[in-house]
């Protein structure tokens, strides 16, 4: 939760979302540098991450990575591509319709799973190889967020993404 009071004007503005989001794609990284595996359903493990993902159990703060679907077109344009597929960017969940950066430090629900945004998911040096020269900078500020799994459950494509607190 942010340090702003829910009673302050800025706190009230930050608590408002124009609509709920939705999961549009789910991907798992089975091993370091392995090709992403797209799945329709995945189990989120409290304190761990996503079953089958290489980060499961490694760092609770990075249990799940999420990226904004609306940013894919911008990343593509900035890196000189007609389009960029979500698996190229190596995030677990592609989410549409809700500003992910507003979920940083907040508790939110994805389907029946409870997550907490832990911070930005900055791009890694692999983006140069994936997107070409300048790929790292093309993603800066648009890499999404990392989250920890507070309450495990199942995440499916199409699940709603809703801020809880």
How does pLDDT run across 116-149, given as a tens digit for each residue? 999 999 998 889 999 999 999 999 999 999 999 9
CB 144 within 8 A of CB 121: yes
The confidence score (pLDDT) of residue 2 equals 46
Asked whether the predicted pLDDT for residue 81 surpasses 80, the reply is yes
pTM of structure: 0.90
The confidence score (pLDDT) of residue 148 equals 95
Q: CA–CA separation, 100 vs 103, rounded Å?
A: 5
Q: What is the dihedral of CA 124, 125, 126, 131, to 10 degrees?
A: 100
For residue 61, give both structure tokens.
Answer: 């703060």
pLDDT in tens, 96-121: 999 999 999 999 999 999 999 999 99
Does domain 22-155 fall into CATH 3.40.50.300?
A: no
Locate all alpha helices (DSSP H) within the chain, ordered by sequence: 9-14, 71-79, 86-89, 126-131, 135-139
The confidence score (pLDDT) of residue 11 equals 82
Q: CA–CA separation, 75 vs 84, rounded Å?
A: 7
pLDDT bin (cut points 50, 70, 90) of residue 1 is very low
pLDDT in tens, 45-78: 999 999 999 877 666 688 999 999 999 999 999 9
pLDDT bin (cut points 50, 70, 90) of residue 3 is low
pLDDT bin (cut points 50, 70, 90) of residue 165 is low
């Amino acid at each position: 939760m942010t340090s702003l009071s829910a009673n302050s004007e800025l706190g009230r503005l930050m608590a408002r979302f124009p609509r709920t989001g939705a999961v549009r794609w789910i991907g798992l990284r089975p091993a370091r540098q392995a090709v992403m595996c797209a799945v329709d359903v995945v189990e989120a493990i409290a304190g761990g991450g996503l079953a089958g993902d290489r980060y499961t159990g490694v760092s609770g703060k990075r249990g799940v990575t999420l990226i904004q679907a609306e940013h894919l077109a911008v990343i593509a344009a900035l890196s000189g591509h007609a389009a960029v597929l979500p698996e190229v960017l190596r995030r677990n969940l592609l989410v549409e319709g809700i500003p992910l950066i507003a979920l940083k430090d907040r508790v939110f629900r994805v389907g029946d799973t409870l997550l907490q945004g832990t911070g930005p998911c900055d791009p890694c040096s692999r983006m140069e190889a994936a997107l070409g020269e300048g790929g790292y900078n093309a993603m800066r500020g648009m890499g999404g967020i990392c989250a920890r799994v507070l309450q495990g459950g199942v995440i499916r494509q199409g699940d709603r993404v809703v801020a809880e607190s």
